Every structure is written in C-alpha cells, then in structure tokens.
A and B are shown apart, each in its own frame.
Chain A
Amino acid sequence: MPPFTAPAQQGSSVTETEIEAKVLQLVADQLGVPRSEVTRESEFDKLGDSLDKTELMMAFEDAFDVSIPDETAASVQTISDAIVLIREYIPAKQAEV
C-alpha cells in the first residue's frame, strides 16, 4: 500500500496524526479489541459486521463533529479510508461555522 498522503486542506486545525490516533482508539474501544490489533490497514469487513461499521461511522461523526453522508461512508473499506474522509469533512464543517 502506498504511503498515505493527505490532501492539503486549508483551515483544518486537527492534524492527520491526531485523527489517526483518535480513530484507532475509537475502533478498539467500540469493538472491544486491543488497540495494538487495529491498524490503518484494518478492514471494516474483517473487524465486524455492517452494523459495527455503521456504529463506528456514527462514533467518528460524534468524535470529530462532522456529518458524513451514508453514500460516502459506504465506500469506506479500511480505517485509512475513514481517516481520509474525516480529514476531508473537518474543514468543510469548519467552513460552515
């Protein structure tokens, strides 16, 4: 997998590393698995079922105060995908404010 490079987003006050740390911790907490077992490459399908994924996306929305449309969330396969999405939506959210 190529190294992840986040698109430069103007106005985002949350760093990539901060999002990653929070997301990985949320996944570990919600699914009750050791933090060490969750990585950016972990796939939602293998971590749990579709209900787990839905619940996790809700938890991400709460944690980062963003709103991710269901159609967009549906394309998320890995934790990394989710981090990228969250990163994209944070500035959009801030722009609204």
Chain B
Amino acid sequence: MNRSPRTITLRRVVVTGMGALTDLALTAPKTWEAMKEGANGVDTITAFSMPSDWPVRFAGQLKDWDPAPLIDFKEQKRMDRFAMMAIAASDEAVRDCGFDFGTGDPYRHGVMIGSGVGGILSTEESHGKLLQGGVRRVSPFTVPRLMVNAGAGQVSIRFNLRGPNAATATACASSGHAIGAAYHAIQRGDADLILAGGSEAAVGQLCIGTFAAMKALSTRNDEPKLASRPFDKDRDGFVLAEGAAVLVLEDLEHANARGARIYAEVVGYGVCGDAYHIAAPDEQGSGAFMAMKFALRDAQLNTTDVDYINAHGTSTPLGDAAEVASVKRLFGDHAYKLCMSSTKSMTGHGLGAAGGIESIASIMAVVEGVAPPTINLDHPDEGFDLNFAAKTAQERPTRIALNNTFGFGGHNVSLCFARFEG
C-alpha cells in the first residue's frame, strides 16, 4: 500500500458562538461586561464550612447558579458539578451560534472540553462515603461523575455530537489544548463544528487543601478581593475559581453558508512543553516564549502584529515573572506597545476552564477593541514595566490577540485570535 505524504488544504476556522459561567456572571456577555468594568468574583468560601485554621478560606465561586432548569433531577445525580457547568456553557454557546445541532450529519459535529481535575468534588464525596460506610456505600454514579472526560461525554449526549469527542487534561492549559485540538480538527476537515473549551468545579476541601499544601494559593484571607493581583509586587499566589467556558468553532465556509455571525477567527495555536519542573516554570519563561512564537508562526504573523495578550498571569511570584520576561524577550520594543492584561485578577484562576474564559476575553478584545483590565495592580513588581491595563479597561484598536495558558506539568499553549475581516 502506498503511504506517500498527502497534501491537504487547511480550512479557516472561526468562532461563531460563546458561552460561559464564571464567578463574575453566568453568561459570556455578562462576564465580558463585568470584566470591562473591573468587577471582582472572589470572595469567602460558602460552598462548604471550613475551620478557621485553614490557610485559605476564599475562592471564586459561581453566584446563585442552579442547574435545574437545564438539567433535571435524575440527570443531576449522574453528573459532577463540572459536567453540569460544561453543559450550561455549551447550551449558551449553542443557542448563541444559531445552528440547530438536531440537523446535519452528527458525525461532523464534535466536542473538546477539558478540565484540570474533573469531578474532584465527587471523588471527595465518594471517598468520604467509602471511609465511613465501606465499599457498599459508594454511589454507582461515582465513576461517570468523576471522569475528567465526563464534561465532553455529557455535552456530546446533550447535543448529539458524534464527531471528534475528547477531553484534554493538561491542568491549567486544558482549555487551551481543547480549543487548539478543535481548531486542528476543523482545519483538517475532520469536523465542521466543535464545541470547545473547559470546565472546572474544584472549590472543595480536597482541592483547596491540596493546593494550599503546595503553597500555590494566596493566603490573603482578610482581603480576599485583593488576593488575585497578577504582576503586583505583593502577589502571593493564585486564587482558585470555578468556571466553564465553551466556544463554537466552525469551518468558515460552513459558517458563511448558513449566514452565521462570526466573532473572530482562530489563526494560530502554539504548544510546547517545559521538560523542567512539574509545577514551576524556568525563570526565563522559555515555555511561554516558545508557545507564543509557535502560535505566531502558525498564524503567519510577526510579533509586531500583536495588539493584546491575555496573560496566563495567575498572580504567583514565579509564574508572572517568567511570563513577563518571555514577553519582553519575544516582542522586544513591541512589548511596550502592546497591552497585556490578566483577567484572572477579576475571576481568580479557573484551572482547566481558564483558557476558555480567557479566550472569550481575547475574542471580545478584538471584537470591541477593548483590553480588559488587570485589577488590584497597585504596584507593578520590579521590572514589570509593560502596559498591563492596570485597574481600568483600555479602548485601543485590536486586531490580533494572544491567549496564553500554562499548566502544571509544563504544558504551554498560546492561541491566536484575529479580528474577522472576511
């Protein structure tokens, strides 16, 4: 059999729908509006009671979210909170894109929804029951709930998506890889429409306790709203947050044929690995540097084309320093002309959902020409002399935006979105 290389034409991929649940708001447009206003979703934890000796007692939680209208009682039992949030964000994105997923060939419709820790709340709950009552007390729904791919699976069932279906699990880069994988699949012609993004519902004792144990979280318990302060000299770790965000990625011709509204075009996807440390970047931010470089190469753009970067910017001492260093090194003089902000200053860190939420911010930045702010940035750290849109949003012409996400494990993703110009 002749297996000679084939030449294929890469199709163009556009974003035609968006949905999100964040601690700022329960839809994508409301989340974006809140970001532009510099809102703050972080607060004292209400999801569970915690002793006052816990080192971290705050997080970003969804406010007054009830899955019930969308997911009935019987289905709720089979799903962890993160999967229900994935369905809710997908439902919004699907309605937003205007395509009826009950029509067409379902094998051309796919889903890529990542998560950092999947159904960790269910893992925790079932383990509690196991310790308390033995193996016979463990819910038979535990496995379908805790699987990190349960979000993708449940969304596929809800919308009859029979094409490419997978979940990426690269910690805080999970959404970035999910959107990138969807972009590749549509480019290649493996699918016409893919729901892509991530979901995370990890505000529970196990997750808070274990991240706190590794000293990754801010411990600013007295001032939780000031805790997520990327690039500030007084930053002391990230703030764990819940969230889900889903984009509808679509083949441009498919979108045009149905007269779809197009938000932006996905033009680049750069990935690499650190091969350095399981949870820390190297000081120069080589991973961030290469991921952005590869994204621009894929997009066939120069560094001077970039107007906005939605930073990974988690508010950790090492992570922020590495990212700033990488941007200065890659962009040179242009680093001082572009704007780089961290919307995590407002949302906290949604782990595997972060890349989805922040892709929406990046897309809206090119749609509206607005860079969302980095709130809580009172005193930029030494040498952090870029335009971080400190405290308030900036109106500025924006054609090209990068969205960076980096995950424990040394996973680096940079996505490139372009204003859609036909």
Report which A residues bind B (CB closer than 8 A). Answer: 30-33, 48, 51-52, 54-55, 58, 61, 67
Contact = CB atoms under 8 A, between A and B. Distances in A.
A32 B72 CA distance: 8
Which range contains the number of B residues in contact with the other chain?
10 to 19
Interface in B184-232: none
A32 B74 contact: yes
Majority DSSP secondary structure for residues of B touching A: helix
Contacts of B144: 51
B137 A51 contact: no
Contact of A58 (B72, B73, B137): B137
B140 A55 contact: yes
A49 B265 CA distance: 43
Contacts of B136: 58, 61, 67
B74 A51 contact: no
B137 A31 contact: no
Interface in B62-112: 72-74, 77-78
Contacts of A51: 78, 140-141, 144
A54 B74 contact: no
Interface of B: 72-74, 77-78, 136-137, 139-141, 144
Majority DSSP secondary structure for residues of A touching B: helix
Nearest to B144: A51
Contact of B74 (A48, A58, A61, A67): A48
B140 to A, nearest CB: 4
A50 to B, nearest CB: 8
B75 to A, nearest CB: 9
Contacts of B140: 51, 54-55, 58
A30 B77 CA distance: 9
B256 to A, nearest CB: 42
A61 B74 CA distance: 20
A55 to B, nearest CB: 5
Contacts of A32: 72-74
